[in-house]
């Protein structure tokens, strides 16, 4: 799963990209004239993984992750810049909204920028819909084909929504309709997270700023949050007690980027199941509602193919038992589930499988 960073030029996208992925791509106050695309992997902090690690002392610990793609800034009216394959294929958008002061860029206005970006997404989708409708009408004019008529009617409906400024993510669609539209990779259909990039002096105000913007951001599959990217970069450079002291000075319980990572993960519709053992403790990302057999396939395609049963237990029970599976079994807390069982967030799974040689 992949999240795409969007936002006006110089809003702090690359700074945030570095924070999310632990990269160190150069950021610049002034335009370098280069439109670069960066991709990286973000690791999702999960205290449960830390606890499981302390229980099992594995050789290796692996956190859940997702991909991040960072593009050049998109100025108002320049939505052509959104036409990158990597970006069209993103599963969700992370919109970096500048709220820090910068003389060269003028006064910050997060409300305006959120509105402008939403409009660019709507207009980009509207162009696609209009182009497709023209073709469909021409084809239907020659010969009436049922699937084309169905598609036209659906596009006419969503066009009306887009024209009244309703993003596609707010549209109620049947599974069939959803499937029909998927190929278009509509931008306003992607879940979006508007993240306000605050001035370092304003972080005590973070929650208030976000609350003030609630009415602006359309609610469906839309989140709002804040970060102060530059100060977070400083926090990330510190370790242990030094970091704790610095956070305490700022009035933060943890680096804000940790919260952002978890929120991105949730926005992508991902949850984690765990596998544990002496070799590895690992969190595996799966879309919410994934069947046990498909979850097994995330670990290895052979395990999905030869799937017999999943031994499943809750995270809390395992921690309460100090990691002793024998105790869980004795208490009847180790369940055997079939391939259609829906794996839930935080469950520990052990797959039984058999692959014919
Ligand atoms: N004061 C302040 N400056 C910031 C903050 N975040 C980013 N900046 C600065 O803004 C400038 C641009 O940051 P980038 O991360 O390169 O912004 P960008 O959105 O990737 O820019 P483009 O890719 O050129 O559109 C840099 O000089 C950053 O140091 C912040 O939270 N506070
Ligand atoms: Mg950049």
Q: Structural domain boundaries of the chain?
A: 2-108+190-267, 114-182, 289-353
Q: How far apart are the C-alpha atoms of 73 and 61, rounded to whole Å? A: 36
List the Cα angle 304/308/311 in 5-degree steps. Answer: 95
Q: How far apart are the C-alpha atoms of 332 and 348, rounded to whole Å? A: 15
Q: Is the pTM of this model over 0.75?
A: yes
What's the CA-to-centroid distance between 279 and ligand 2, angstroms? 39
Query: What does the buried/exposed string (b/e) look like for 265-294 if buried means 16 or more CB atoms within 10 Å of the residue's CB?
Result: bbbbbbbbbbbbeeeebbbbbbeeebbbbb
- Domain 114-182 classification at class level: mainly alpha
Q: How far apart are the C-alpha atoms of 317 and 179, rounded to whole Å? A: 39
Q: Give me the pLDDT at residue 213, please.
A: 86
Token pair belonging to 264: 């991105």
Token pair belonging to 314: 């809750």
What is the best residue among 4, 10, 70, 198 to mutate for testing ligand 1's pocket, by most ligand atoms within 8 Å of CB?
A: 10
Ordered DSSP codes for 127-140? HHHHHHHHHHHHHH
The contacts of residue 62 (CB under 8 Å, 6+ apart) are 280, 281, 282, 283
CATH number of 2-108+190-267: 3.40.50.300
What's the CA-to-centroid distance between 89 and ligand 1, angstroms? 25
Which ligand does the CA of 30 lie closest to?
1
CA distances from 185 to 125, 179, 238, 264 (A): 9, 11, 40, 19
Q: Give me the pLDDT at residue 352, please.
A: 95
Phi, psi torsion values for 16, nearest 5 degrees: -70, -40
Q: Give me the pLDDT at residue 340, please.
A: 97
Ligand 1 atom nearest to 101, measured from its CA: 1
CB 230 within 8 A of CB 242: no
Q: Give me the pLDDT at residue 281, please.
A: 97
Q: Give me the pLDDT at residue 33, please.
A: 54
Residue of the nearest CA to atom 23 in ligand 1?
Answer: 72
Q: Give me the pLDDT at residue 318, please.
A: 95
Q: Which contiguous run of DSSP H or E holds residue 70?
A: strand 65-70
What's the CA-to-centroid distance between 100 and ligand 2, angstroms? 16
The contacts of residue 76 (CB under 8 Å, 6+ apart) are 8, 116, 120
Residue of the nearest CA to atom 16 in ligand 1?
Answer: 27
The contacts of residue 170 (CB under 8 Å, 6+ apart) are 161, 218, 220, 221
Ligand 2 ion: residues within 5 Å (CB): 13-14
Ligand 1 atom nearest to 71, measured from its CA: 23
What is the best residue among 19, 28, 205 to mutate for testing ligand 1's pocket, by most ligand atoms within 8 Å of CB?
A: 28
Other residues' Cβ atoms within 10 Å of the Cβ of residue 40 = 16
What's the CA-to-centroid distance between 313 and ligand 2, angstroms? 43
Give the three-state DSSP class for 334: coil
- Which residues form ligand 1's pocket by a CB distance below 6 Å? 7, 9-15, 27-29, 72-73, 100, 197, 199-200, 228-230
Overall residue count recorded for the chain in this entry? 357
Ligand 1 atom nearest to 232, measured from its CA: 31
Mean pLDDT of each 10-residue bin along the chain, 357 residues long: 91 93 77 72 95 97 95 76 82 94 86 92 94 94 92 96 94 93 94 93 86 73 91 91 92 90 94 96 96 96 95 96 93 94 97 85
Q: Looking at the domain 289-353, which fold is it?
A: Ubiquitin-like (UB roll) (3.10.20)
Q: Give me the pLDDT at residue 34, please.
A: 56
Ligand 1 atom nearest to 229, measured from its CA: 31
Ordered DSSP codes for 291-308? BHHHHHHHH-HHHHHTEE
């Amino acid at each position: 799963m992949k999240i795409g960073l969007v936002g006006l030029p110089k809003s702090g996208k690359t700074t945030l990209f570095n924070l999310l992925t632990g990269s160190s791509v150069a950021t610049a106050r002034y335009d370098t004239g280069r439109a670069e695309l960066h991709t990286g992997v973000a690791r999702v902090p999960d205290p449960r993984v830390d606890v499981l690690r302390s229980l099992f002392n594995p050789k290796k610990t692996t956190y859940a992750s997702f991909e991040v793609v960072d593009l050049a800034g998109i100025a108002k009216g320049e939505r052509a810049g959104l036409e990158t394959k990597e970006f069209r294929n993103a599963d969700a958008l992370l919109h970096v909204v500048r709220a820090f002061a910068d003389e060269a860029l003028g006064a910050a206005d997060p409300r305006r920028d959120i509105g402008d970006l939403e409009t660019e997404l709507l207009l980009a989708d509207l162009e696609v819909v209009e182009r497709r409708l023209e073709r469909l009408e021409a084809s239907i004019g020659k010969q009436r084909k049922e699937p084309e008529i169905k598609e036209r009617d659906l596009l006419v409906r969503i066009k009306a929504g887009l024209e009244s400024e309703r993003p596609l993510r707010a549209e109620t669609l049947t599974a069939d309709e959803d499937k029909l539209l998927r190929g278009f990779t509509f931008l306003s259909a992607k879940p979006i997270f508007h993240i306000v990039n605050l001035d370092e002096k304003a972080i005590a105000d973070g929650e208030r700023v976000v609350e003030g913007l609630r009415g602006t951001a359309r609610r469906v599959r839309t989140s709002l949050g804040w970060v102060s990217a530059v100060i977070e970069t400083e926090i990330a450079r510190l370790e242990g007690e030094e970091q704790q002291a610095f956070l305490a000075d700022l009035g933060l319980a943890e680096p804000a980027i940790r919260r952002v990572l978890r929120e991105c993960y949730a926005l992508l519709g991902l949850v984690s199941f765990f596998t544990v053992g002496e070799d590895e403790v690992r969190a595996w990302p799966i879309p919410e509602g994934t069947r046990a057999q498909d979850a097994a396939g995330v670990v290895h395609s052979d395990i999905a193919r030869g799937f017999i049963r999943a031994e499943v237990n809750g995270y809390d029970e395992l921690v309460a038992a100090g990691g002793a599976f024998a105790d869980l079994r004795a208490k009847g807390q180790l369940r055997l589930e079939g391939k259609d069982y829906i794996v839930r967030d935080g469950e520990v799974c052990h797959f039984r499988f058999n692959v014919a040689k």
